[in-house]
Each structure stands twice: as structure tokens, then as C-alpha cells.
Chains A and B, each alone.
Chain A
Amino acid sequence: MNILSFFNYWAVILLMMIGYYGMIVCGNMIKKIIGLAIFQTAAFILFISAGKVIGGATPILREGIALYSNPLPHVLILTAIVVGVATTAVGLALTVRIYEAFDTIDDDAIDTLEDDK
């Protein structure tokens, strides 16, 4: 067992941190949404990697195969991907409306605009 045998999980951690960093650091709302999408994708890869059974075949029932990979995580992630797309869509729609209302999509610039709390 070496480090590379966990390659998928390293990728998950790396992507998750890239996405999270982007969300926190970028002021531009589109970039924040991109960061969020990367962050969500990392979670998807985590699930899908967990579904692989070493030596298992694709989970389609047929003769002469005893060991199948686990299809359930894929199905779950299919749902989660739909959710992720919907989130991105709502986020982008809000960004369009924010641009119409504020003439900017920079989070910090909006902060200075809405000081009159």
C-alpha cells in the first residue's frame, strides 16, 4: 500500500481545497460559483471512488461474473449532480440580477455600496 493507491482521494482533497480557496478568496461572484462547483465535484469523486470494488466488473448482470462494483454511489451522485447543476443555475441567475441591480458582481464593491445598514 503506497501513497498512489489512494490517488483518487488525494485528488478529492486537492480539488476540494482548490474550490474552497476560490470561494473564499475570489471577490468575483462568477469565480465564487466556479469554486463552489469544483468543491461539489470533489465530493462527487469521493462517492464514485468508493463505489469501485477491486477486481469487480461493471455492475451489469450477466453470466459468469461473481463480483460486481457497487452501483449505488453512482446513482446517488447522479442525483447530487442534478442538485449541483441546479445550485449553479440559481447562483448564476442571482449573479445576473445582482449585475442588473448593482452594475458590479464584485463582492467587496457591493459591500461598500450597502454600507447603510
Chain B
Amino acid sequence: MNVTEWMPFIVLIPLIAGPICILLPGQRLPWLLAMLSAASALIIAGFTFAEVITNGTLRYAFGNWQPPIGIEYRVDAANAFVALLITGMASIMLAWGKPTVDVEIPERQSSFYALFLLAFAGLLGITLTGDIFNVFVFLEISSLATYALIAHGQDRRALVAAFRYLMMGTVGATFLLIGIGFLYIMTGTLNMMELAERLPALADSRATQVGLAFIVVGFSIKLALFPMHHWLPNAYTYAPSLVTAFLAATATKVALYVLLRFVFTVFAPDYSDAAMPLAIAFAVLAIAGMFAGSWIAIFQKNLKRLLAYSSVAQVGYMVLGASFVTVVGVTASFLHLFNHGLIKGALFMAAGIVFHQIGSARLEDMRGLGRVMPWTLTGFALAGLSLIGIPPTVGFVSKWYLISAAIDAGQTWIVVLILISSLLAVVYIAKLIELFWMQPRPADSPVVQEASPALLIPLWLMVFANFYFGIDTRLTVGGATAAAQAILGVPVGGLP
């Protein structure tokens, strides 16, 4: 079996399965098709990752039109690593989410799963493609599907959240389109590798710099980098549980990956750094996001909104790693990208189970719930420890590498800031644990039961992964290091 021939099917399987899914009747068949396509994409992504790590970059020209004429899929360790995360998350979320979807979206599930598959295919397309216009197209495929998925939420405010996300997301995508336009005008190519060759000669051109600025702002909106995170809390709060968990674990990660790909691979790092103080801007915004996100999270009264603001803070950690512009820094960034997918996936799954059982995401309805739903909330608490960064969890590994990168870059004061912002995470996680276990269950509260094993087993699988990858870091650290080297590895001088 030739992996290169199979690799494009990671995107094609969900993309083709989406329209088929709409035609399927009932509740079971659409889910089964979505599950099968996610699982087969995961298997191919696994083989691709193994192949890329051992044998290097895979290239596939669509329709056998060689680049620069045709669209090329170019998969190195960075793409393969992110694709593995997305397909893995989609598989486990779908395996987990069926009962919650049955309650939250009782009708027309076939179109819901079709949209899910399209969003999934779009994210994978952004990840694997080597053509910048193709990035825009897949970004819009996944975004449009995501707006519709968020609007499926039961609360009517989900519609407003989806509308506002549509506004901001489309502005971001159009900014990207403008940036791509500038790059094409200046270089005459859309292929990432050709751009990387031609752009350094144009480093002083104002048009290229403006193009870079448009692209960075466009992706920062999708990434929810502070202060462009405004769409995220409402979208995560009101979307159906499955959608929230999936988006939190994948969507912002893909935006980060593609941002790093543009900044570091397409515009080599020394050039971006020289052309404009991007690294400083990233560092400032990341640190501001780390503090603002965690601080706002402490005062939230809704569990999903609290976790959403925490995500804004965590995006800060990821961007902070990249802002050092070193291999260690970008490794920390990729590592946290993967690990935060595991952490937030588990937390939002637990929040989804609570919502499934008590029909509310408000914290005041969850007092004393830890004694009624011990399995769910113990899982939540363990994932919360991982969010804080207590060994031996993945959160600790992420913070460890981030702090090493900061020390490596000679910026020890950033270490202090990372530790202080971690303390803010301690505050809101401790507040939740206190709420779940220390407070008594109100006497007039409705009777609640522990969730069924169908919901708990995938959650505990994720919690287990949080600990497993905290101890055995070969896959995550190895993959992240290879990804960082791949993304920085283009002919660039001046890298350590």
C-alpha cells in the first residue's frame, strides 16, 4: 500500500460522506456513516503520520497536475501531527456524542451529521493542503458548516452567537483572501513552497508586508487570539455539546497551525521578524490573553462559558510558544496544541455529560453534583488538574516545555507570568471543585442520576489519555518536535 496515494482520502472521505449523509434516514445511519468516515480518516492519518516521521515529506498533486499549475497536498510532520489530532478528536467525540445529539437535536439529524462531516473535512483540508488559495476555500467550507452547527443549539441565543461568529469569521476569511491576493500579485504563485522561495527577495516590499498583516489578522480572528476572541465564548456556550467539544479540541488548533505555517514556512521566520515586530505582537497579545481569559473565567456563572474563556487563555500559551521564534518555542506551541486538545476535549465532554443529565450549564444548578455524578465530575476534576498543569498530566508537559522555551530565549520574566496565570487557572478549577463537592445539594433540586456508560467510557478514555501522554511523551513530544522542525525547516538562516 502506498501511503501517498491514500493520504488525500483523509480529506476526501468526510467530504464525500457529507452529502451522502444528508440522504440517509433516521438517527442511526447518519451517525454510523459519520463515525465510519472519522474512524477511517483516523486510520489513514495514523499511517500518514508514521510514514512522514520515518520517510519525510509526502507530496500528492491532484489530478496529476503538477504544481504550480495544480493543487498540491504537501504533508510533513506538522500537517500529519495536526491531522492526527483532528481525526482522533473527531472519532472520539462522535463515539461519545450520539446520546447528547439525540436529546439536543431530535429532528433532522442527517443534516446535522452532514454539517459535522463538512466542518471536519474543511479543517482537514486546511491542514493538509500546500496551496494558499485552497486554504481559503477549505477555511470557508469548515466555517460555513460551523456557523450552521452552532445555530443548532437549543437556546435561541445560539442563533445570535452563530450570526456574530459569521460576521467576524467572514471578515477574517476575507482578510485572508486579501492577503492571498497581495501575495499572488507580488509573486505570481499560490503554492506554499514556491512562495517560500520567492518571498525573501521581496522582503522590503510594502505590498508583501501588508499581505502578511492581513493574513495574520485573518487567522488571529479564527484562532480567537485576544483581543479577537469576541465570538468564541458565546459560540462555545450555546452550541450543542458535541459541537462545542469538537470545536474546542480542533478548530482553534487548526487556525494556529495554519498561522504558524504562513508565518514560519511561507514567510521564513527571520523575514517576518525583521519585516514587522510580529514576535513582539504575538508575545504581548498572548500574555494579555492568558491573563484576561483566566481572569474573566473566574467570574463566570455558566460552566461552558467558563471553559470557553479558559480556552482564550490557553490559546495565549500556544501563541506565546511560537512568539519565541525558536525550535523549542514552536515545539512547545505544537505540544500544547495537541495537549490542550486532549484537556479541553475532556473538560467539554464532562460539561456536555452534565448538561445532558441536568439540562443546564449554569453553575448554580450544579451545587453538590459531585456526590450524585461522581464518575463524570471526577473525570472533570482530573482533566482540570491537567489544565492547571500538575504532574503527571499533559498540562504539566506543555507548561514544562513552554517554560524551557522561555528560559532558552533568555526571557525569565515570562516564566513568572506563566506561573501567575497558571495560578488563575487554579482559582477557577478549585472554585468548581468546591462547588461540586463541598457545597450541599439544594433540597429542592430535581433528582439526577449518573450518566450511562456510553457517555462515561469515552470521557474516561480522554482523561486516561491526559495522564498517559503526561507520562509517555514519545508520541506527543516527538511529534511536536518533528512538527516544529518541519515548519521552521525551510531554507532559513539564523535559527539555533
Contacts and interface: CB of A to CB of B under 8 A. Distances in A.
A102 B157 CA distance: 9
B44 to A, nearest CB: 26
A90 B181 contact: no
Which secondary structure dominates where chain A touches chain B?
helix
Contacts of B148: 90
B181 A87 contact: no
B167 A32 contact: yes
Residue of B140, B148, B305 contacting most chain A CB atoms (<10 Å): B140
A39 to B, nearest CB: 6
A98 B160 contact: yes
Given A43-B178, A83-B137, A102 B156 contact: yes
A80 interface: yes
Residue of B136, B137, B160, B174 contacting most chain A CB atoms (<10 Å): B174
B178 A46 contact: yes
A11 to B, nearest CB: 14
Given A87-B140, A91-B166, A101 B159 contact: yes
Interface string B142-155: 00100110010000
Interface string A33-47: 000100110010011
B323 to A, nearest CB: 28
Nearest to A48: B181
B170 A117 contact: no
B174 A43 contact: yes
Which secondary structure dominates where chain B touches chain A?
helix
B177 A117 contact: no
Interface residues of B, number: 28
B171 A98 contact: no
Interface size grouping (class) on chain A = 20 to 34
A70 B178 CA distance: 18
Nearest to B179: A43
Interface in B20-70: none
A117 B302 contact: yes
A80 B144 CA distance: 13
B301 interface: yes
A39 B174 contact: yes
A87 B144 contact: yes
Given A76-B133, A94-B159, A23 B167 contact: yes
A79 interface: yes
A72 B68 CA distance: 12
B162 to A, nearest CB: 6
Interface in B289-332: 301-302, 305
Interface of A: 20, 23, 29, 32, 36, 39-40, 43, 46-47, 50, 72-73, 76, 79-80, 83, 86-87, 90-91, 94-95, 97-98, 101-102, 110, 114, 117
13 contacts: A43-B178, A46-B178, A72-B184, A73-B184, A79-B137, A83-B173, A86-B144, A87-B140, A90-B144, A94-B166, A101-B156, A114-B160, A117-B301
